Structure 1
């Protein structure tokens, strides 16, 4: 991974806008570290233990040391920061986002600082029609040219011929599979993403095996015409969306899939059976099999929750919309329209299905499956707001009965484990990358604490609340300016 260092010009601008060293730091003449954070309660996200009155020294983009307050007697820094007995956790990871929309390039880029202000310092982009652009953003962020979360990305995903998804790499045979992987190789993607709108099961399985042979992690949906067992047996690394877990509670999934393939039953009817015939004991046994094979799961509850309960919350008063352009939110409309046509029975069925899916997360945790927090935020996913949606996802985990420590792990160290970089990042330890969030209250007591941020350290740079608020204010201003520009351009087009 490239070294992530925010350019001096960008960081200087942040400093000038309100990030001044305090008087204690001004009196120091000898410099040993860039920043020392003291009076901190450091949470070990692997054990749940809290180190009180801790000191954290930052040097360049790394955590140089973590110790007790006696370190202040022998160590100094250019900048001293009193954490005021707040709680320090690693920077948050959103393990499923999409930066998408060929007409939304600036809209997406303007949200990068919002992620930082919300404590999200790393994201995993699960492919989109902006694949090459996201790869460029990844490299620019790593080089310190723009401010944003570190990005791991699949670039463009593998799909079948004539799929519904824009910008995917469509394959229909082995040669096209290998050509697509050659292309992704050339772009140095971080993992492979596969979906199955039209990609046939046999080629899907071959795609997983071939990608794994090339050294990639493979994240995937489960094809409608394939069993979960078939995809897991092929070696899939992670299953995206916990809705697929309902299939593991059906005794006769293979028979049901065979009937779907033969045209004897519609997929909509099968979806109902996944709920009505769900056997929790059987599902738990199969979750243990997933864990034994090292398969991870990114539940992405928030999207299903927003749609299922749209009759109770139309999101008219959502504050986060001040960061999202009219063009960005215009992509929400098709799902809103579709949901508006539901009968009362269908609405209740959606809620029942969501509740069953959400209830699986504690069972997955208990079985030992690596659970990763991801929002699936994207312009196409209605009311799943970039950055904010991860925090909402974490609260849904808590509502489902997941313990706060497990939730913190899902949003920090588990993502690093999956990407193979735990030795470099995602815990508050010496020699790790300096991505931290300082919270006003203890997230081990209530995960809502992740939404109450005192300060953020992104790539070694300490951003206090005043600076974070200015980043958010800038994002809101850019949203307005982009809306006005587009409205004016549209008016000109009409006159022409």
Structure 2
């Protein structure tokens, strides 16, 4: 009965007796489809793409014929949904707009079909790129953006919305709502603990998704109780694993110490039992955590690593490269004690990421690439983040789930899947990423919104991005 049904379906789709067949832009045959929710691999499949969606999937051996404009042989290859980078930045001021725009090519060339822009000062340009990409007039990933960050008076980052009272908090959230942002990003350079918690609570009351750094003047419990949806970076979760978290919080609140001066104490007072309580709070409140391990490792070793011959440096514009100087000079001028502390912190983060995964806290893979974040290159850094997560103890499947699957769940978007009716944002790999996570870099074809880009096309994207 199944065979009869399959033959009828095949005939209707591809050999339809007088009726015009569906207009398929591409068909990928004999391919292995990876289900990133289960890890199951469906072998010998044909995937038909029409417009910007997946039209249908059928066993390759059951096909009578295929009428797709582009026929792709997927024999021995692995098809999965496009990757998501869940923490990037487009920023640096208007004079860096074009250099930021050219970075879009790097994401697509690396199989990243969606990015989450975690705050910057180029919101007008980013919103324009969003529309151009959606309309098919610009090559680039789907962009979900927070718009400007919310922070306190005298904020570190240009373009931030500065708040110091309830009225300013409401005004800031009103402006973000008018921008139709996808989530609210809160930064911790100047905002006090009270206003930080108020921003979260008010945003949640409005139904807005929230993520952010976390001032050391509040606890993880206060933050999760307020309703935060994601915590960016591991500095803050690590503090929640300290047996002295409350004492450290009070010391920061009373200006007896600061963020960086607290980190050594945070590491030395890590408690497995307290950590378990914190992990439980994160799970109970459905809070995502963004480890950003790769950038942490890169910045922790700036004092001893020469990046001037990095392959990807040639794709970074001269103005953006100039923004790297701040972190480079800080590393050069750092005391021996600080350098050691930073490297210890890097190791602590690797251990913590593994513990979070073991305890089923939801993680998001994010590179933190963008201007000012030295040598953390758009595109390739997401692959390095996935490798770092596997090195921390995640399986390749778990690492891949922190990308598109968890990214969509955090933003409450449609789950990326390879099924009829789903968005045709796909990556065709030459090798199985479930066996070796570095196989995510072995890309044969990228499909973005139904448009296929061959290996040659991807190479040309990189060439056009070269300075």
TM-score, length-scaled by structure 2:
0.92
Which residue matches 2:376? 384
Which residue matches 2:431? 441
Q: Check the 8 A contact 1:56/1:65 in 2, yes or no.
A: yes
Which residue matches 2:28? 37
Find the aligned partners of 2:261 and 2:71 in 1 and give their Cα distance. Answer: 62
Q: Deviations over 1:205-256 (max 9, x none)?
A: 1111111111110011101211111111100000001222211211231122
Deviation at 1:344, TM superposition (A): 3.9
Q: Deviations over 1:52-93 (max 9, x none)?
A: 111111111011122311343255312211123211111000
Which residue matches 2:88? 97
- Counterparts of 1:40-79 in structure 2, within 5 Å, are 40-73=31-64, 75-79=66-70
Find the aligned partners of 2:38 and 2:315 in 1 and give their Cα distance. Answer: 36
**Residues 1:162 and 1:264: Cα distance change in structure 2 (over 3 Å):** closer
Find the aligned partners of 1:60 and 1:374 in 2 and give their Cα distance. Answer: 29
Q: Deviations over 1:149-189 (max 9, x none)?
A: 00000111111111111001111111111111111111111
SS, match of residue 110 in structure 1: helix
Aligned equivalent of 1:199, options 191, 201, 210: 191
**Residues 1:172 and 1:375: Cα distance change in structure 2 (over 3 Å):** same
SS, match of residue 163 in structure 1: coil
Find the aligned partners of 1:281 and 1:212 in 2 and give their Cα distance. Answer: 30
SS, match of residue 430 in structure 1: coil
Which residue matches 1:238? 230
Q: Check the 8 A contact 2:26/2:50 in 1, yes or no.
A: yes
Deviation at 1:420, TM superposition (A): 1.2
Which residue matches 1:331? 323
Which residue matches 1:350? 342
1:190 pairs with 2:182 = yes
Deviation at 1:335, TM superposition (A): 0.9
1:456 pairs with 2:442 = no
Find the aligned partners of 2:166 and 2:350 in 1 and give their Cα distance. Answer: 37
> Which segment drifts farther, 277-286 or 349-358?
277-286
Which residue matches 2:3? none
Find the aligned partners of 1:213 and 1:266 in 2 and give their Cα distance. Answer: 31
Find the aligned partners of 1:175 and 1:72 in 2 and give their Cα distance. Answer: 63
Which residue matches 2:7? none
Unmatched runs of 5 consecutive residues or more in structure 1: 1-28, 480-496
Which residue matches 2:288? 296
Q: Deviations over 1:303-359 (max 9, x none)?
A: 210111224421122100111112111111111111112344432321111111111
SS, match of residue 268 in structure 1: helix
Which residue matches 1:473? 463
Q: Check the 8 A contact 1:129/1:166 in 2, yes or no.
A: yes
Aligned equivalent of 2:419, options 422, 429, 448: 429
Find the aligned partners of 1:203 and 1:270 in 2 and give their Cα distance. Answer: 21
Q: Check the 8 A contact 1:65/1:429 in 2, yes or no.
A: yes
Q: Deviations over 1:15-71 (max 9, x none)?
A: xxxxxxxxxxxxxx9554221101211111011111111111111101112231134
1:410 pairs with 2:414 = no
Q: Check the 8 A contact 1:161/1:172 in 2, yes or no.
A: yes
Aligned equivalent of 1:277, options 252, 262, 269: 269
Q: Deviations over 1:424-462 (max 9, x none)?
A: xx2222211000111111111111111111110011011
SS, match of residue 312 in structure 2: helix
SS, match of residue 69 in structure 2: strand
TM-score, length-scaled by structure 1:
0.87
> Which segment drifts farther, 35-44 or 264-273?
264-273
Q: Deviations over 1:351-393 (max 9, x none)?
A: 1111111111222122221111001111111111111111111
Find the aligned partners of 2:347 and 2:441 in 1 and give their Cα distance. Answer: 24
Find the aligned partners of 2:191 and 2:225 in 1 and give their Cα distance. Answer: 18
Q: Deviations over 1:254-275 (max 9, x none)?
A: 1221122223344433211111
Q: Check the 8 A contact 1:284/1:363 in 2, yes or no.
A: no
Q: Check the 8 A contact 2:292/2:385 in 1, yes or no.
A: yes
Q: Check the 8 A contact 1:31/1:78 in 2, yes or no.
A: no
Q: Aligned-pair RMSD on alpha carbons?
A: 1.5
Unmatched runs of 5 consecutive residues or more in structure 2: 1-19
Aligned equivalent of 1:123, options 115, 120, 123: 115
Q: Deviations over 1:82-121 (max 9, x none)?
A: 1232111110000000000112100011121221111000
**Residues 1:193 and 1:267: Cα distance change in structure 2 (over 3 Å):** closer
SS, match of residue 208 in structure 2: coil
Q: Check the 8 A contact 1:55/1:71 in 2, yes or no.
A: no
SS, match of residue 33 in structure 1: coil
